[in-house]
């Protein structure tokens, strides 16, 4: 079978290459001319483990191509995937202009190639988009009718950056929101060719349900991470408490599971922030308030400020202080710094007058110089924050931090050994871990360990009273 992809961002490119690696004929087009030229030269514009070798194999077999127009890419395809971006507007609502533009391009291509095909919306879109604006654009440009001359489907993606190849080739499930059974059958045949005997469970439903499944899935996972982050703040105040142990304990419950309970400063990336904002804005327009989603967004926005509060309290102010932020990508294993908590933290520190250095082995961030060498980043700094747990940062020893002018390290991912750091004379503050019981514990505000100490024994006594 032949597949075409309009939009070669993270989702479109990964899915296209994975399909081509299994022998399917795949063509791809993107409006970014520079990206198209790079791909024709065999250069991947994204960092994703395992994708480069699959790309090289597909190119050598001639199963993937990058033509000069959307019309050329669509011609002869059995399935055409819309995999363009759906950014947020200023009010958090979704911007569907790229999706509608892609649908129009596909519709124009269908005028000269009237074979039956299924158009598949894989971009994350709010309910009603597939059978509303997308269908209208396709029918208007092609002069053809949905459910008669072509099929339409919403097929959400569930890819994790850093594990996208595995998630594409071995997914938990496939969701097909079909305009009619013929469209669903054709898309199912395509996935049958991709997965063969390892076909995952398939849910066939309406396009509206498929659109909602994607948002509900991301909202649930983001809320789960927020839950862990919330308890990390509490554990930081309690002698002997460790959020990793608490989350491991609840994750052993089969109803909860261990995934997405690794607490940190905040969650970020290209999906969770924009998708939660989009579905919250959509629901408000429908007269419904998604209270848990709104709360997760609000709590998440506070995370970087709370870490900045910690540093401000420890250093007695941030103006003129040099802070080394270890990490720029929103998670290790990717060069993606979109909506990264590390970048949010750098911005917050800068607004408070700090001089910020950002270190990352792969990511680039617009408007920020990213240092590749951790030693250079730490040299002469007043404090450091481990924001993204790259292996290069995990491997740093206490002695590496002694080159700093100050001796304060905030570890938001709890990767360092408190005993080793303490013995070396480094003040290690770990998000989600209370001080050992034998030390006097205080409750501080603002933030996790700022000014305004109150003995925790007094807090507990007042609570018990």
Tokens of 377: 């980043």
Residue 240: left (phi > 0), alpha (psi -120 to 50), or beta?
left
- How far is Cα 243 from Cα 443, in angstroms, rounded to an integer? 17
Q: Where are the domains of the chain?
A: 2-205, 217-461
Burial class (CB in 10 A: 0-12, 13-18, 19+), 179: buried
Report which DSSP code applies to 88.
B
Contact 363, 333 (CB under 8 A): no
The verdict on whether 271 is a catalytic residue reads yes
- How far is Cα 63 from Cα 272, in angstroms, rounded to an integer? 33
pLDDT (tens digit per residue) in 386-411? 999 999 999 999 999 999 999 999 99
pLDDT (tens digit per residue) in 132-158? 999 999 999 999 999 999 999 999 999
Tokens of 193: 């060719």
Contact 344, 269 (CB under 8 A): no
The reported pLDDT for the residue numbered 405 is 95
pLDDT (tens digit per residue) in 295-314? 999 999 999 999 999 999 99
| Domain 2-205 -> CATH class | alpha beta
Contact 418, 410 (CB under 8 A): no
Other CB atoms within a 10 A radius of the CB of residue 54 amount to 22
pLDDT, average across residues 331-345? 94
The reported pLDDT for the residue numbered 458 is 52
Other CB atoms within a 10 A radius of the CB of residue 382 amount to 20
Contact 356, 402 (CB under 8 A): no
**CA-to-CA dists, residue 337 to 46, 214, 276, 384, angstroms:** 12, 22, 18, 19
The reported pLDDT for the residue numbered 79 is 98
Contact 92, 281 (CB under 8 A): yes
- How far is Cα 263 from Cα 226, in angstroms, rounded to an integer? 8
pLDDT level of residue 439 (50, 70, 90 thresholds): low
The reported pLDDT for the residue numbered 452 is 41
- How far is Cα 247 from Cα 245, in angstroms, rounded to an integer? 5
Say whether 204 sits in a helix, a strand or coil. strand
pLDDT (tens digit per residue) in 142-201? 999 999 999 999 999 999 999 999 999 999 999 999 999 999 999 999 999 999 999 999
Q: Is the pLDDT of residue 60 over 80?
A: yes
Tokens of 364: 């680039």
Structural Rg of the chain based on CA atoms: 25
CATH of domain 217-461: 3.40.50.720
Among residues of the chain, what percentage have pLDDT more than 90?
91
The reported pLDDT for the residue numbered 451 is 38
Burial class (CB in 10 A: 0-12, 13-18, 19+), 388: buried
Q: Which residue has the higher pLDDT, 460 or 350?
A: 350
The catalytic position among 18, 271, 359, 377 is: 271
The reported pLDDT for the residue numbered 443 is 47
Longest dimension (CA), the chain: 80
Among residues of the chain, what percentage have pLDDT more than 70?
94
The reported pLDDT for the residue numbered 366 is 82
**Topology alike, domains 2-205 and 217-461:** yes
- How far is Cα 65 from Cα 73, in angstroms, rounded to an integer? 8
Tell me the pLDDT of the chain averaged across its residues: 93
């Amino acid at each position: 079978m032949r597949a075409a992809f309009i939009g070669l961002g993270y989702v479109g490119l990964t899915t296209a290459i994975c399909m081509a690696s299994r022998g399917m004929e795949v063509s791809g087009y993107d409006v970014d001319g520079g990206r198209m030229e790079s791909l024709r030269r065999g250069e991947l514009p994204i960092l994703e483990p395992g994708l480069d070798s699959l790309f090289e194999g597909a190119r050598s077999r001639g199963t993937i191509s990058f033509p000069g127009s959307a019309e050329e890419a669509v011609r002869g395809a059995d399935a055409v995937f819309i995999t363009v971006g759906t950014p947020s507007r200023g009010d958090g609502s979704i911007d569907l202009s790229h999706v509608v533009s892609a649908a129009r391009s596909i519709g124009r291509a269908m005028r000269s190639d009237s074979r039956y095909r299924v158009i598949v919306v894989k971009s994350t879109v709010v309910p009603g988009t597939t059978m509303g604006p997308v269908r209208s654009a396709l029918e208007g440009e092609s002069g053809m009718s949905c459910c008669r001359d072509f099929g339409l489907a919403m097929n959400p993606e569930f890819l994790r950056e850093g594990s996208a190849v595995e998630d594409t080739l071995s997914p938990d499930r496939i969701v097909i929101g079909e305009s009619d059974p013929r469209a669903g059958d054709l898309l199912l045949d395509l996935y049958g060719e991709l997965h063969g005997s390892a076909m995952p469970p398939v849910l066939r439903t309406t396009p509206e349900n498929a659109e909602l499944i994607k948002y509900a899935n991301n909202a649930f996972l983001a809320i789960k991470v927020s839950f862990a982050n919330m308890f990390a703040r509490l554990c930081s105040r309690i002698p002997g408490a460790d959020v990793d142990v608490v989350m491991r304990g609840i994750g052993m419950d089969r109803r909860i599971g261990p995934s997405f309970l690794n607490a940190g400063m905040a969650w970020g990336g290209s999906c969770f922030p924009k998708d939660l904002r989009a579905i919250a804005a959509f629901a408000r327009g429908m007269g419904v308030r998604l209270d848990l989603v709104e709360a997760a967004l609000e709590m998440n926005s506070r995370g970087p400020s709370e870490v900045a509060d910690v540093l401000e309290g420890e250093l007695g102010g941030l103006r003129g202080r040099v802070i080394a932020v270890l990490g720029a990508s929103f998670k290790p294993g990717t060069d993606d710094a979109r909506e990264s908590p590390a970048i949010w933290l750098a911005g917050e520190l800068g607004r408070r007058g700090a001089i910020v250095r950002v270190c990352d082995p792969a990511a680039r961030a617009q408007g920020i110089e990213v240092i590749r060498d951790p030693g250079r980043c730490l040299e002469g700094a007043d404090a450091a924050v481990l924001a993204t747990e790259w292996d290069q940062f995990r491997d740093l020893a206490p002695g590496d931090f002694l080159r700093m002018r100050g001796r304060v390290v905030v570890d938001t991912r709890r990767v360092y050994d408190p005993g080793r750091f303490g013995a070396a004379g480094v003040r290690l503050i770990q998000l989600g871990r209370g001080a050992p019981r034998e030390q006097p514990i205080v409750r501080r505000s603002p933030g996790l360990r700022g000014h305004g100490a109150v003995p925790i024994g007094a807090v507990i006594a007042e609570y018990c009273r």
